[in-house]
């Protein structure tokens, strides 16, 4: 018995052992709570960032659509007179466009003095808004390429809005007025509300200068508030230099402690002079409310562990398994979402290819009908005129002269029909193949533009699938049209080579080239069209350009069929 007593732990040692075990278990609980805190913060950051991205994408789409609408209205305004039927047409067009654009409340055309000459709201026609900042900013710059984003202001109809404005240039490039679109705050309020799923969340849309346009849910004193202050979320986001950010802190406009996701909205290619800032936030106490409950539960668990360590370990293990399952479920959901996005991209590409095929078939049918129907009728008409002319008496000189004039008109109509047929679907392409059609088109391009164009091929003829031949022709056609409109080139080189399994096409010019930013963003629609056609043919596309040194486009397209070196 004395030996057993000697081997027994002393009370102090027992307390020390129990205390050591409890400290270890307490350390484990603290570690779990820390990891959980980080996981909640990361998950909530990702969730808020995703909500902000949804608003970004929708607003960017509205901005792009509005920019296209403004360009279209500006073209109409420069072609039509702002009086009489021209004015009525513009008003009807503006009303129609505002009806089909949910994000636009008002569309107006103002002359160079700031007077509304056409608009979808008749009560504004004739009013003068020369003192408005959106008119003054446009008049100061007089640059038709800039999309002006006005600071928020209250309209004469009592609505707090932002305007998107473009300059209407005159015939000599002078300032001739503006076309402006007022964004609908109700539409964007609905958009901001759609990303909220709890009373502890809110979202806002602000002008790039720092004034709040909308906050949902609305809060007193926030409309038009300036948040571009030192240390504010707005300022910190701008200083970060990032297009998207997630931060925590105190909101200057409300005093709330929140976690906030922000995004800068300025779509490439629009030429906006100011950006938009979207914010989606959640009260920070609400974000970690669940975690605080978990911390209290962990403290209670630690107390239970002092009395029953076994039950505590079981609870901890169950907790860990639940956490791992949650992470696994989120990973499965993420993979499913990624697979859906890939599938949607493939479907869109397939749809684009189908639309191109339908377009080519429609062009072919249109050219054939012109040739078969209208061409035949014009030929018969010309023959009848020649027959009448040859049988008139010599003394009917005035009638003969009139018939000769009509004959000339018929010849002009025949030439116009042939040009339309060639533009829709060159007959040479279907009858003689790709190379003769390209030579014919290049010759017409040179005659029409005066730009020297050289076509070189490594083979006297190419035997290609009909679809591939049509797409190659359209690629060259779109590239030359784009060079004519934008490149200011004097020489163009087209090199077409065939290997056993691929077709190499290189198009280069000596024009003004592209700035580095434009080269990366593919701003020119012609280049985008060429790249999309090459993609539909499963080919490779690359473009190199330096400002002032022209553009070089290289394409490699896989082909099948006989190859003759």
Domain check: are 390 and 463 in the same one?
no
Q: Are residues 255 and 366 in the same domain?
A: no
Q: Is residue 320 part of a domain?
A: no
Cβ neighbours for 110, distance < 8 A, ≥ 6 positions apart: 116, 117, 129, 135, 177, 178, 179, 180
Verify that 465 and 374 share a domain, yes or no.
Answer: no
Whether 396 and 417 share a structural domain? yes
| Closest C-alpha among 100, 273, 284, 261 to residue 192 | 261
Weakest mean pLDDT among 181-190, 414-423, 437-446: 414-423
Q: What is the DSSP letter of 459?
A: S
**In a shared domain, residues 278 and 222:** yes
Q: How many residues does the chain have?
A: 565
The per-residue pLDDT for 320 is: 53
Which residue's entry shows tokens 């160079």?
112
98-102, 136-140, 408-412, 505-509: least confident range: 408-412
Residue whose entry in the numeric block shows the structure tokens 């392409």: 429
Is 548 among the domain residues?
A: yes
Q: Which residue among 375, 398, 424 closes a domain? A: 424
* Mean pLDDT to the nearest integer, 389-407: 66
> What is the band of 5 on the pLDDT scale with cuts at 50, 70, 90?
very low
Which long-range contacts (C-beta less than 8 Å, at least 24 apart) are formed by 322-329?
323/36, 323/39
Q: Return the pLDDT at 503.
A: 87
Together in a domain, 482 and 529: yes
**Long-range Cβ contacts of 132-138 (<8 Å, 24+ apart):** 132/163, 134/163, 134/165, 134/178, 134/180, 135/110, 135/165, 135/178, 135/180, 137/165, 137/273, 138/165, 138/166, 138/167, 138/175, 138/178
Averaged confidence pLDDT in the chain: 81
**The residue to which tokens 């099948």 are assigned:** 560
What's the CA gap between 387 and 384, in Å, rounded? 5
- Tell me whether residue 397 is in a domain: yes
Nearest to 23 by CA among 257, 301, 302, 345: 302
Query: Where is pLDDT greater, at 469 or 116?
Result: 116
Q: What is the pLDDT of residues 508-556, one digit of tens each?
A: 999 888 766 444 444 455 678 788 888 888 889 998 887 778 899 999 9
Q: What is the CATH number of the domain that holds 491?
A: 3.30.565.10
More confident residue, 206 or 514: 206
Contact call for residues 107 and 77 (beta carbons, < 8 A): no
From CA 17, how far away is CA 23, in angstroms rounded? 10
Which helix or strand (DSSP H or E) is residue 127 part of?
none
CATH number at residue 101: 3.30.450.20
Q: Are 109 and 129 within one domain?
A: yes
Instruction: Report how many domains make up the chain.
Output: 3
| Tokens found for residue 286 | 């609400």
Distance CA 559, CA 181 (A): 48
> Which residues lie closer than 8 Å to 376 by C-beta, 6 or more apart?
none
Co-location of 409 and 468 in the same domain: no
Residue pLDDT, tens place only, 77-135: 887 766 666 778 888 889 999 888 989 999 999 999 999 999 999 899 999 999 999 99
Structural domain includes residue 319? no
Q: Establish if 202 belongs to a structural domain.
A: yes
Percent of the chain with pLDDT over 70: 76
Q: Give this prediction's pTM.
A: 0.51
Check: CB of residue 276 under 8 Å from CB of residue 59.
Answer: yes
Same domain, 419 and 467: no
For residue 5, tell me if it sits in a domain.
Answer: no
Is the four-CA dihedral 198, 200, 205, 208 of positive or negative sign?
negative
Question: Which strand (E) or helix (H) includes residue 265?
Answer: strand 257-265
Does residue 461 have a pLDDT over 50?
yes
Query: Is the pLDDT score of 375 beyond 70?
Result: no
* CB 201, CB 281: distance < 8 Å: yes
List all residues 6 or more positions away from 465 whose beta carbon is below 8 Å from its beta carbon: 559, 560, 561
* Domain span at 448: 428-558
> Given 424, 448, 483, which residue is the final one in a domain?
424
- Structural domain ending residue among the three candidates 369, 389, 424: 424
Nearest C-alpha neighbor of 464 from the set 493, 429, 495: 429
| Beta strands at 163-169 and 175-183: parallel, antiparallel or unpaired | antiparallel
Q: Are residues 461 and 506 in the same domain?
A: yes
**From 206-215, 268-277, 388-397, 503-512, the region with the lowest mean pLDDT:** 388-397
Of the candidates 44, 48, 43, which has an alpha carbon nearest to the alpha carbon of residue 281?
48
Which of 150, 152, 154, 151 lies closest to 166 in space, CA to CA?
Answer: 150
Both 140 and 276 in one domain: the answer is: yes
Task: Check whether residue 236 and residue 372 sit in a common domain.
Answer: no
For residue 167, whether the previous peptide bond is cis, meaning omega lies within 30 degrees of 0, is: no
The verdict on residue 340 lying in a domain is: no
Looking at residues 26-32, what average pLDDT do you find?
85
Burial of 286 (0-12, 13-18, 19+ CB in 10 A): middle
7 inside domain: no
């Amino acid at each position: 018995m004395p030996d057993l007593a000697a081997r027994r732990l002393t009370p102090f040692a027992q307390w020390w052992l129990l205390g050591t075990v409890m400290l270890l278990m307490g350390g484990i609980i603290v570690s779990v709570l820390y990891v959980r805190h980080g996981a909640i913060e990361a998950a909530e950051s990702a969730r808020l960032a995703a909500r902000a991205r949804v608003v970004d994408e929708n607003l960017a789409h509205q901005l792009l659509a509005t920019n296209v609408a403004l360009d279209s209205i500006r073209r109409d305004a420069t072609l039509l007179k702002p009086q009489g039927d021209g004015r009525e047409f513009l008003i009807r067009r503006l009303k129609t466009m505002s009806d089909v654009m949910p994000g636009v409340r008002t569309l107006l055309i103002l002359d160079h003095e700031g007077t509304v000459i056409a608009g979808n709201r008749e009560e504004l026609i004739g009013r003068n808004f020369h003192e408005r900042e959106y008119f003054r900013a446009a008049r100061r710059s007089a640059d038709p390429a800039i999309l002006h984003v006005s600071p928020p202001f209250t309209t004469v109809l009592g609505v707090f809005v932002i305007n998107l404005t473009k300059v209407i240039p005159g015939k000599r490039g002078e300032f001739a007025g503006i076309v402006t679109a007022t964004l609908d705050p109700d539409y964007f309020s609905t958009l901001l509300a759609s990303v909220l799923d709890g009373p502890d969340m809110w979202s806002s849309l602000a002008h790039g200068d720092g004034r709040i346009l909308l906050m949902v849910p609305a809060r007193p004193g926030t409309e038009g508030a300036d948040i571009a202050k030192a240390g504010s979320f707005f300022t910190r986001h701008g200083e970060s230099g990032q297009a998207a950010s997630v931060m925590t802190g105190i909101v200057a406009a409300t005093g709330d402690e929140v976690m906030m996701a922000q995004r800068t909205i300025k779509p490439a290619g629009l030429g906006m002079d100011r950006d938009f800032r979207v914010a989606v936030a959640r009260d920070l106490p609400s974000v970690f409310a669940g975690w605080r409950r978990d911390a209290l539960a962990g403290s209670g668990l630690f107390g239970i562990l002092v009395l029953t360590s076994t039950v505590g370990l079981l609870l901890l293990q169950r907790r860990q398994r639940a956490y791992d399952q949650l992470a696994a479920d989120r990973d499965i959901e993420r993979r499913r979402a990624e697979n859906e996005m890939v599938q949607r991209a493939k479907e869109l590409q397939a749809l684009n290819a189908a639309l191109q095929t339908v377009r080519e078939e429609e062009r072919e049918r249109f050219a054939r009908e012109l040739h078969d129907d209208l061409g035949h009728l014009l030929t018969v008409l010309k023959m009848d005129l020649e027959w009448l002319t040859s049988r008139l008496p010599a003394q009917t000189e005035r009638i003969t002269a009139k018939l000769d004039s009509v004959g000339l008109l018929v010849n002009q109509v025949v030439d116009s029909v042939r040009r339309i047929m060639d533009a829709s679907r060159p007959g040479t392409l279907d009858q003689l193949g790709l190379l003769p059609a390209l030579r014919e088109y290049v010759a017409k391009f040179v005659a029409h533009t005066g730009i020297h164009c050289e076509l070189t091929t490594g083979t006297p003829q190419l035997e290609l699938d009909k679809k591939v031949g049509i797409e190659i022709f359209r690629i060259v056609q779109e590239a030359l049209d784009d060079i004519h409109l934008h490149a200011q080139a004097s020489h163009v080189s087209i090199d077409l080579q065939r290997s056993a399994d691929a077709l190499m096409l290189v198009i280069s010019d000596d024009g003004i080239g592209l700035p580095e930013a434009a080269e990366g963003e593919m701003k020119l629609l012609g280049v985008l069209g060429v790249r999309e056609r090459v993609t539909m043919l499963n080919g490779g596309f690359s473009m190199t350009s330096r400002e002032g040194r022209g553009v070089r486009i290289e394409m490699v397209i896989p082909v099948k069929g006989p190859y003759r070196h």
